[in-house]
């Protein structure tokens, strides 16, 4: 049922490129990363997504070699670059990767060329080699025409392109991105997302991308790792993360969702669907997607998946009368706030003329869009 969201085919070939195993990182007594494990495949774009303070930047910096973990292992191309057990901790410059930061950290008084050439000069590469490599990197980000311009005379987007060229110039095997677009305005950010994604695919370069921006993560990633409080909550494709969130945290963080809880009515389970009864006595049919269901259960429904109508729609299951509390016109869509079964829900409808005042209407939802969440672990 879930529909693929990214039409560009994955550039990933085969084999694990980066493996992070049971990574723990302390800052003093604070445990910022609590035993995180994931892999990044060759040519894959993997995104670490989560709210501020969840440990995504710390994890990225540990891969880069800028943060020393407390324990665990990180392998790049099969070789450990950090391992507490084997007492390995390779310096950042020997890990074969480049990093692009939120603040572009380019030198305003230098030209575009000098900015990109700087790292190669430090490595004492020949003049001819530097010229060729810098021009190739500038071509990749369409900045060759600005080669001799001072960085201070560039727009924010152009400066970020220079920062990208500076990362590409070393032909790294891995690119790490720490919120590289967050200083750009919304329009430019949208354009740069597409550009970056296409570039990453074209070059087939393995990358790890950190962001707290959901849209960015959904649009750019082959897979997403959702983090909270130093642990991983879910790993999956954008489609899986959005359509089959594991728990209430992911459902809520990854897009807007309504949560509906109730007791399992096994006697009403039918046609591969599971039924719950809400505290208000309404029966809701949903899909378990192979997940076990307990005596009580919580289901998640995206605000866009509810259907709203003033006439009772056809069908018996998952059709309910609702009281409309408020309709908020938001341009591309209208947000309808309703009271149903003793709780408040939000429905997002396209192109609906809002009506004033409270009134009665109907709400319905396809049971395949009502997703059973995993039971929360005790203490989670
Ligand atoms: P953000 O999006 O705000 O950057 P994040 O998910 O990247 O958040 P981290 O920066 O990795 O989170 O921080 C994880 C935890 O470690 C937070 O609780 C943070 O306060 C703490 N932390 C990060 N850097 C340090 C530091 N240098 N010293 C002490 N604590 C730190």
What is the tens place of the pLDDT at every residue in 85-132? 999 999 998 998 998 887 767 888 999 999 999 989 988 889 999 999
What is the tens place of the pLDDT at every residue in 156-180? 888 888 998 998 898 888 999 999 8
Mutate to test the pocket of ligand 1, among 24, 30, 209 (most ligand atoms within 8 A of CB): 30
State the DSSP code for 2. Answer: P
| pLDDT tier, 357 (very low <50, low <70, confident <90, very high otherwise) | low
What count of residues does the chain have? 380
Quick one: pLDDT at residue 359? 81
Quick one: pLDDT at residue 176? 95
What is the tens place of the pLDDT at every residue in 195-229? 889 888 888 899 999 999 999 999 999 999 999 99
Atom of ligand 1 minimally distant from the CA of 210: 7
Neighbours of 350 (CB within 10 A): 8
Quick one: pLDDT at residue 352? 67
Farthest CA pair distance, the chain? 78
Mutate to test the pocket of ligand 1, among 31, 55, 181, 232 (most ligand atoms within 8 A of CB): 55
pTM: predicted TM-score of the whole model, two decimal places: 0.88
Quick one: pLDDT at residue 12? 42
Domain residue extents for the chain: 16-96+172-243, 257-372
Quick one: pLDDT at residue 199? 86
Q: Distance from CA of residue 82 to its chain's centroid? A: 25
- Identify the CATH assignment for 16-96+172-243 out of 3.40.50.300, 3.40.640.10, 3.10.28.10, 3.30.450.40: 3.40.50.300
Q: Whose C-alpha lies nearest to ligand 1, atom 9?
A: 55
Atom of ligand 1 minimally distant from the CA of 59: 11
| pLDDT tier, 1 (very low <50, low <70, confident <90, very high otherwise) | very low
Q: Which residues contact 206 (CB under 8 A, 6 or more apart)?
A: 17, 18, 40, 41, 42, 43, 44, 173, 174, 175
Quick one: pLDDT at residue 53? 94
**DSSP readout, 319-378?**
EEEEEEEEEEE-SSEEEEEEEETTEEEEEEEES----SS-EEEEEE--GGGSEEPPPPPT
Whether residue 4 is predicted with pLDDT greater than 70 in this model: the reply is no
Q: Which residues contact 357 (CB under 8 A, 6 or more apart)?
A: none
Quick one: pLDDT at residue 186? 82
Q: CB of 110 within 8 A of CB of 146?
A: no
Q: Whose C-alpha lies nearest to ligand 1, atom 1?
A: 52
The superfamily CATH assigns to domain 257-372 is Nucleic acid-binding proteins (2.40.50.140)
| pLDDT tier, 14 (very low <50, low <70, confident <90, very high otherwise) | low
């Amino acid at each position: 049922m879930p529909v693929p969201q990214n039409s560009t085919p994955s550039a990933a070939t085969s084999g694990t490129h980066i493996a992070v195993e049971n990574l723990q990182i302390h800052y003093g007594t604070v445990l910022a990363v609590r035993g995180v494990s994931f892999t990044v495949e060759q040519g894959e774009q993997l995104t670490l997504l989560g709210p501020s303070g969840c440990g995504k930047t710390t994890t990225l910096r540990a891969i880069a070699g800028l943060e020393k973990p407390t324990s665990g292992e990180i392998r790049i191309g099969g070789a450990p670059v950090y391992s507490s057990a084997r007492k390995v901790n390779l310096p950042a410059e020997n890990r074969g990767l480049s990093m692009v930061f939120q603040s572009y950290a380019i030198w305003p008084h230098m030209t575009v060329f000098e900015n990109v050439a700087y790292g190669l000069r430090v490595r004492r590469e020949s003049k001819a080699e530097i010229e060729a490599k810098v021009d190739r990197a500038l071509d990749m980000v369409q900045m060759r025409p600005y080669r001799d311009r001072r960085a201070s005379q560039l727009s924010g987007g152009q400066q970020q392109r220079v920062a990208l060229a500076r990362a590409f110039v070393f032909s790294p095997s891995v690119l790490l991105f720490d919120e590289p677009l967050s200083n750009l305005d919304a329009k430019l950010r949208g354009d740069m997302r597409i550009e970056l994604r296409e570039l990453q695919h074209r070059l087939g370069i393995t990358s790890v991308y950190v962001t707290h921006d959901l849209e960015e993560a959904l649009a750019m990633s082959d897979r997403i790792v959702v983090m909270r409080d130093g642990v991983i909550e879910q790993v999956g494709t954008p489609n899986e993360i959005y359509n089959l969130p594991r728990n209430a945290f992911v459902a809520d963080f990854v897009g807007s969702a309504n949560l509906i809880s109730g007791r399992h009515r096994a006697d009403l389970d039918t046609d591969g669907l599971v039924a719950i009864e809400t505290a208000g006595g309404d029966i809701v049919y949903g899909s378990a997607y192979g997940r076990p269901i307990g005596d009580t259960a919580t289901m998640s429904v995206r605000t866009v998946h509810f259907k709203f109508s003033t006439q009772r729609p056809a069908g018996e299951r998952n059709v309910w009368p609702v009281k409309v509390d408020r309709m908020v016109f938001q341009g591309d869509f209208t947000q309808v706030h309703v009271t149903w079964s003793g709780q408040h829900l939000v429905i997002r409808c396209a192109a609906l003329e809002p009506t004033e005042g409270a009134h009665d209407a109907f709400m319905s939802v396809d049971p395949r869009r009502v997703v059973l969440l995993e039971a929360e672990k005790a203490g989670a």
